[in-house]
Amino acid sequence: MKTRLLSFVTLFFLAISAMAQEGMWLLNQIDQLNLKDAGLEISTTQIYSPGNPAISNAVVQLGGGTASFVSPEGLLLTNHHVAYTALQRASDVQSNYLTDGFLAREKSKEIKAPGYEARILVEMKDVTDIIFKAVKGIDDLEERDRKINEISEEMTKEIEDKTSDADARVVAMYNGKQYILFVYKVLKDIRIVYSPPLSIGNYGGEIDNWMWPRHTGDFSFLRAYVTPDGTGSEYNEENVPYKPEIWLKVAQKPIEPGDLTFVVGFPGSTTRYRTSNSAAWNLIENYPFSIDNFSSIIALAEELTMDDPDGQLKVANLTKGLANAKKNYQGKVDGMIKTKYVERKIKFEQEFTTWVNSTPETKKKYGHILGQIQEQYKVIKKTKDRDNILGMFQGLSGTRTDAAFYAFLIATEREKPEDERMPGFSPRLIDNLANGLQYTYNDYYEPFDKAMLVRTLKQVQKLPAGQRIESLDYILNQSDESIEFFVDEAYKNSKLDNLEYVVALFDKSSEELKALNDPILNMMSNLYLYIEENREMNNSFGTIVIDLRKQYIDALYEWKGSTLYPDANSTIRFTYGPVKGYTPQDAVWYEPITTLKGVVEKNTGIMPFNAPEKLIKLYETRNFGQWADPELKDVPIAFLHRCDITGGNSGSPVMNARGEVIGVCFDGNYEAMISDWQYDYEIQRTISVDIRYVLFITEKFADAGFILKEMGVN
């Protein structure tokens, strides 16, 4: 097994150069890329060097995105939209940091970023041999998965038990062909230093989101704190700024079209090795349902908070996230249709099948793959309408429903034999759920919460025959009025609006939960059997299909012999490419750099194009300081470059050929929204805020030159 794995990895590396600039590469692959030929002026060991300080040590996973250390005092630079949730949680109507921005002029004035943690990569170790040895001889896929989870938990627990601020995770690459252990140091005390107002940090709003040209100052500064001995811990007044081994320096020279850029960050997920079945499922079923669902929830939130500033603040984080996902999914749908993506996948698979059938050996090994994957999608299609609704009861039906779901999840799993529990169920998971609820309840807005549950129950009522959730018939009674009456009465008689009460439920058995006779807990009790059945079906689907996808990758490699970088999975990655514009359609060329002039041209004084008066004044008086581009004679705002990124890369530092910071990733272009499915060399671009705009806003607009001084900027 070891020899086979080494041969596989070696062959991967031999062909890496054939895929220049495509791919989100693992850090241990980058010395196999032709980076010197691309213009890199530093060694790859300065980017990643196990056991030694390198650029990768300055890059952290933060709040669903990425950030980087830019000072010796733990100062972090990330996106405004990565810091958005922290700003929202720290705000109230009197102190709306989301709208107005926030600046701490001294460390003692920095405020908590509630719920935020920074993860710094400490170790990255291939543990494939250990995993494969443990599952040798196990043919049953579900048993095999349980054994992999068991071995992984043993490895990670051993590390986490030794160090209080360690987080260890075993992550599958190539759908289980390779397993890597990632060990992180976790910093749990993150504070907000400076964030510009929404009219800069989210200039253009959803209209400009995913679009070019962009004029958004999408950045924020935070700071990481630790105990005096350097241990990551929760917020404490005695904590001190974290001292990173290495921090990134600001570029000394302006960028120009054609210059090399590279990005280190934590991309979320891609699906580039999926078959046409997965692509068609998402195009026809998943994306359209999600787009309609998110649109409806956003409209409901806007309607219910129209005249309530406090309500608007409470729902802001949810609606922004849904709006972003909605536009992303719509872009994927548009891109798939425009490029005939599914049809091209099918044609590719026809060619693949011809190759498979070309010899008895390949037919025996791979002839079953596509057919068996198709059969699995037929299974989940049978109950897709019901399963969509069951998913909504686990996150999009209100805070009280979420609390009831968590209570039954914990009770039910605890009552099972250990070897039958869901993967990852542990006291730590329960603690994480309990801790996370404080932020969920921080956003609790009862009119919206009730409306979300009413909305979901009305969708249950419309389910087709054969997919009905019959255990909820006692609520429905075939009329809308009965649903609204039930929800009104349930909210009057339920105690699930009390956070302390909810957390106490996590110690109760399922029978004790039922005995409380709480109407929302009773509803979840009636639902939970369906939710468990749905989870078991999805687990079975995932176990079988992931194994088939692994076999498919084996086949593709044997057929094509070209390098397959692993799909993104929230682990740290490297990507690179030049500053470059693009042609979105016939006779149109997009320049790669935007300037402050564009902010003024778009300004209407009405959200989302309501540029601050002070910013307009800085432009009109040409008060640019040292931040004007010598060629453009203006302050650059954003730039395009040919790097391969996806969600999770938000906030990633963009570096030049010398490893200096030139910007911060914040978006991709709409024309390439199917980039999670395929890479298009000609049209896919990363959109990043120029570091000069970051520094211009910080110094000239916020009068916070002390931040620049801390960063070593003269």
Each residue's pLDDT tens digit, 116-132 = 999 999 999 999 999 99
Q: How far is Cα 510 from Cα 408, in angstroms, rounded to an integer? A: 6
- Cβ neighbours, 10 Å, residue 686: 27
Instruction: Determine which one of 68, 80, 81, 278 is catalytic.
Output: 81
For tokens 């922004």, the residue is: 320
Read off the tokens for 442.
């921080």
442, 92 in Cβ contact below 8 A?
no
Q: For residue 45, which of 26, 58, 27 has the smallest C-alpha distance? A: 27
Output the CA–CA distances (angstroms, integers) from residue 197 to 697, 699, 702, in the order listed: 11, 14, 10
Q: What is the pLDDT of residue 479?
A: 66
Q: What is the DSSP letter of 524?
A: H
Instruction: Determine which one of 195, 650, 675, 688 is catalytic.
Output: 650
Under-50 pLDDT residues of the chain: 1-19
- The residues facing 638 across adjacent strands are 689
Q: What is the pLDDT of residue 419?
A: 84
Q: What is the pLDDT of residue 423?
A: 85
Q: What is the pLDDT of residue 13?
A: 37
Q: What is the pLDDT of residue 269?
A: 97
24, 570 in Cβ contact below 8 A?
no
Q: For residue 62, which of 490, 539, 649, 488 has the smallest C-alpha distance? A: 649
Three-state SS sequence of 333-380: HHHHHHHCHHHHHHHHHHHHHHHHCCCHHHHHHHCCHHHHHHHHHHHH
Read off the tokens for 509.
């058995």
Active-site residue flag, 488: no
Active-site residue flag, 81: yes
Q: What is the DSSP letter of 418?
A: G
Q: Which residues contact 656 (CB under 8 A, 6 or more apart)?
A: 251, 253, 255, 259, 260, 261, 662
Q: How far is Cα 197 from Cα 178, in angstroms, rounded to an integer? A: 44
Helix (H) or strand (E) holding 661: strand 661-668
Active-site residue flag, 218: yes
Q: What is the pLDDT of residue 1?
A: 35
Residue ranges in 165-231 assigned as alpha helix (H): 198-201, 205-208
Q: DSSP 3-state assignment of 471?
A: helix
Each residue's pLDDT tens digit, 511-563 = 999 999 999 999 999 999 999 999 999 999 999 999 999 999 999 989 987 66
Domains delineated in the chain: 52-249 (no CATH), 276-557 (no CATH), 574-710 (2.40.10)
The reply to whether omega before 213 is within 30° of 0 (cis) is yes
Read off the tokens for 588.
């149109």
Instruction: Determine which one of 167, 218, 644, 676 is catalytic.
Output: 218
Helix (H) or strand (E) holding 512: helix 510-515
